[in-house]
Structure 1
Amino acid sequence: MEDLWVVENQPAEFICQFSRPVKARWRKDGQLLQPDGRRVVVEQDWSVARLYINRVSNDDMGTYSCEAEGTCGVASLHVEAKPINIVQAMENVETFDGGEALFECALSRPESKDCHWLLDGKPVKESPKAEIVSFESGRRHLLLLKDLHDKDSCTVTFKAGTATTSAQLTVKGGSSMLKETHRLA
């Protein structure tokens, strides 16, 4: 049997070949394995014993052995975390002096610990002017910036693991909001 490196939620299969037909027993970390027939399946085909794990998780990591009549095959299963991808990137936002800006992005898998919002590369802290929210167990992330002025124009970046998305915040000065005055004739 060979050691396996599998990305989480992917299938893993151990194959143990014997010289003649035997009834094999599978163990994980020395404990007899209890297949459920759905996620963990054990098959025996003449002299070949198979162990199939449908969607591996961190709990499946360990050393697996296949034993039959004094012969034993041993292999390890290593589970790698699935990389995070940005599935919805942020969009540029334009607002006026005193206005608000909402930035939103979505990830391929939930993440709430290893993620950060940055304004021009500096970490964002929660404040009356900056509200940080995450939804769907950490799949969707929002940043609401309030009471913005033209000096607040910057690059907004969201990082989760190795994934990054950025967008521009443009705050137009108050002078562009001209008020028309109508004269009474």
Structure 2
Amino acid sequence: MVQAVNPRGRSPRSPSGHPHVRRPRSRSRDSGDENEPIQERFFRPHFLQAPGDLTVQEGKLCRMDCKVSGLPTPDLSWQLDGKPVRPDSAHKMLVRENGVHSLIIEPVTSRDAGIYTCIATNRAGQNSFSLELVVAAKEAHKPPVFIEKLQNTGVADGYPVRLECRVSGVPPPQIFWKKENESLTYSTDRVSMHQDSHGYICLLIQGATKEDAGWYTVSAKNEAGIVSCTARLDVYTQWHQQPQSTKPKKVRPSASRYAALSDQGLDIKAAFQPEASPSHLTLNTGLVESEDL
């Protein structure tokens, strides 16, 4: 029989006659040992949202939005053609609560055109995306000008009428109508406003009434200015002419013609009397034809 002996004593026997062997306990992670190293996990930046190429008109606002993930939270920086973009009054870099980063440029100038690169960096590495910003030249503004102005118009009661004009301007102007001091803001079944891409403007009134009469003003407005013109619409009542009588009119010869015919021997005055008949006409002998007849 074999017994295990150590300074603390003998080990108890097992039912099978073999001694118990104590195995060292494994140290748990929560043992609180300060000497045990804690391994951190890092994730390289990854863009969840990134814009594509942009075209913006000069003088307008440009906004580039992106969203990035990573652990620890990545730091973002912007470059234009390889040079850092510095924040200033026209270039702002914002971060919203939902984690969206924005580069805002206002107003955009021709110097802002180029290749933009956004770089996200943390302890695990970095990631980036690029886009091209094209700045369209600002269109030269031209104030509105009437090519054809409104004309004073009259129409019979119950008939349709148009008030028409043509206007040009860059950019195309907005059109406003007024009757006296009241604005016409929307079309109805009877009164409608029309405008096409060639500058033609029309106010159409179906079945004009006396209430439609008055002064009408059309105004054209854009970023470069405003212009107006005014015209009068008169609505008059129709009147019907009486049918002309079919009774023949009496025609009386002139005094000179009486004299010329009487000299030839004709009793002309008797012929124009109501009771006159062919038997009253007498012919003197020696009648000579005359060019006065």
TM-score range, shorter chain: 0.5 to 0.7
| Preserved contact between residue 131 and residue 143 of structure 1 (Cα < 8 Å) | yes
Taking the TM superposition and a 5 Å limit, the aligned residue runs for 1:90-105 are 90-105=51-66
Percent identity between the two aligned chains: 18
Q: 1:146 aligns with which of 99, 106, 112?
A: 106
Matched, 1:79 2:40: yes
Per-residue CA shift, 1:86-137, capped at 9, x if unaligned?
A: 1111222211111110001111237666320111111111111001001247
Aligned-pair CA distance for 1:26? 2.5
- 2:88 is matched with 127
| Preserved contact between residue 42 and residue 71 of structure 2 (Cα < 8 Å) | no
Amino acid at match of 2:148: L
| Preserved contact between residue 118 and residue 156 of structure 1 (Cα < 8 Å) | yes
Matched, 1:171 2:135: yes
| Preserved contact between residue 134 and residue 141 of structure 1 (Cα < 8 Å) | yes
Q: In the superposition, relative to structure 1, how do residues 21 and 85 fare at CA in structure 2: closer, same or farther (>3 Å)?
A: farther
| Preserved contact between residue 66 and residue 102 of structure 2 (Cα < 8 Å) | yes
SS in 1 for 2:77: strand
- 2:283 is matched with none
Give 5+ residue unaligned stretches, structure 2: 1-20, 150-293
| Preserved contact between residue 93 and residue 102 of structure 1 (Cα < 8 Å) | no
| Preserved contact between residue 43 and residue 72 of structure 2 (Cα < 8 Å) | no
Please give the TM-score of this superposition, normalised by the length of structure 2: 0.36
Please tell me the root mean square deviation across aligned C-alpha atoms, in Å: 3.3
SS in 2 for 1:151: helix
| Preserved contact between residue 25 and residue 32 of structure 1 (Cα < 8 Å) | no
Please give the TM-score of this superposition, normalised by the length of structure 1: 0.55
Counterpart Cα distance in 2 of 1:92 and 1:179: 33
SS in 1 for 2:139: helix
| Preserved contact between residue 26 and residue 33 of structure 1 (Cα < 8 Å) | no
Structure with the largest fraction of strand: 1
Counterpart Cα distance in 2 of 1:93 and 1:164: 17
Give 5+ residue unaligned stretches, structure 1: 1-19, 35-61, 65-75
Counterpart Cα distance in 2 of 1:111 and 1:135: 18
Counterpart Cα distance in 1 of 2:143 and 2:55: 20
Counterpart Cα distance in 2 of 1:112 and 1:173: 39
Larger Rg: 2
- 1:32 is matched with 31
SS in 2 for 1:148: coil
Alignment coverage as a number of residue pairs = 125
Q: In the superposition, relative to structure 1, how do residues 25 and 33 fare at CA in structure 2: closer, same or farther (>3 Å)?
A: farther
Per-residue CA shift, 1:73-97, capped at 9, x if unaligned?
A: xxx5533421111111122221111
Counterpart Cα distance in 2 of 1:124 and 1:94: 19
